[in-house]
Amino acid sequence: MTDAIAPITPVPRPAPGPTAAATAEAFEAVFLGQMAQLMIGSLDTDGQFSGGHAEEMFRGVLGEQIGTAMARRGGIGLAPLVMEQIIKLQGSQPDVD
Contact 40, 67 (CB under 8 A): no
In order, the DSSP letters of 6-53 are PPPPPPPPPPP---HHHHHHHHHHHHHHHHHHHHHHTS---STT--HH
- The per-residue pLDDT for range 54-75, each reduced to its tens digit, is 788 888 899 999 999 999 999 9
Q: Provide mean pLDDT across the span 25-51.
A: 87
From the list 84, 77, 75, the residue with the least C-alpha distance to 29 is 75
The pLDDT, as a whole number, for residue 69 is 96
